[in-house]
Chain A
Amino acid sequence: DAMVIQNPRYQVTQFGKPVTLSCSQTLNHNVMYWYQQKSSQAPKLLFHYYDKDFNNEADTPDNFQSRRPNTSFCFLDIRSPGLGDAAMYLCATRGQGSYEQYFGPGTRLTVT
């Protein structure tokens, strides 16, 4: 009974070829997050949604976009992946009135 699901767990894409990572949740949480985590580094917040309200971090590259068509699903689109975008991408949720984030297992992206 996984609560935050990320698909696929491993994704290989070619340099410059658009790729989409997906996240779904069964918690009915109104906040959803995307983080990028490179080896031995802190998870870095890319953006988050409060319901449909999109909040982009100032230093998130324009190459990264996100969609949240409904409460349950959130997508991360990388328009033209570069070698530097290879990382673990973590999705997380949070319910209103709670500080706890619930994380998915992550998608490891490889760019060839």
Chain B
Amino acid sequence: AQRVTQPEKLLSVFKGAPVELKCNYSYSGSPELFWYVQYSRQRLQLLLRHISRESIKGFTADLNKGETSFHLKKPFAQEEDSAMYYCALSGASGTYKYIFGTGTRLKVLA
């Protein structure tokens, strides 16, 4: 079955502490993996995708095919990182469907 699992509903960290938001997936084939973010009172927007291997707002995510994981990391959390984070996958090129995880709410405490 195709699935995206985010085991933590809520993650609270102090400002300056490292952050890791977990994402595991189940997919037969080679998926594209994404992280989407939703800040308070804003729309859902793309944060990063694995194929670009970028660092956006200090966040990185590495696709681990052996562990079928795509965890989101940031070495030093900022208060403005507080948001809802969704992990999502899409199939290979030519597939336009997405599967989302249930999301993790990140709270960065002052």
Contact = CB atoms under 8 A, between A and B. Distances in A.
Contacts of B70: none
Question: How large, as a class, is the contact surface on chain B?
Answer: 20 to 34
Q: Which of A35, A42, A55, A104 has the most CB of B within 10 A?
A: A42
Interface stretch (B13-21, B58-66, B74-82, B92-100): B92-100
Contacts of A45: 97-99
A90 interface: yes
Contacts of A55: 96-97
Query: Could you say which interface size class chain A belongs to?
Result: 20 to 34
A57 B2 CA distance: 14
Contacts of A35: 100
Nearest to B45: A103
Interface string A1-38: 00010000000000000000000000000010101000
B109 interface: no
Given A103-B43, A103-B45, A104-B43, A43 B96 contact: no
Interface stretch (A59-67, A74-82, A94-102): A94-102
Contacts of A92: 44
A96 to B, nearest CB: 9
B102 A94 contact: no
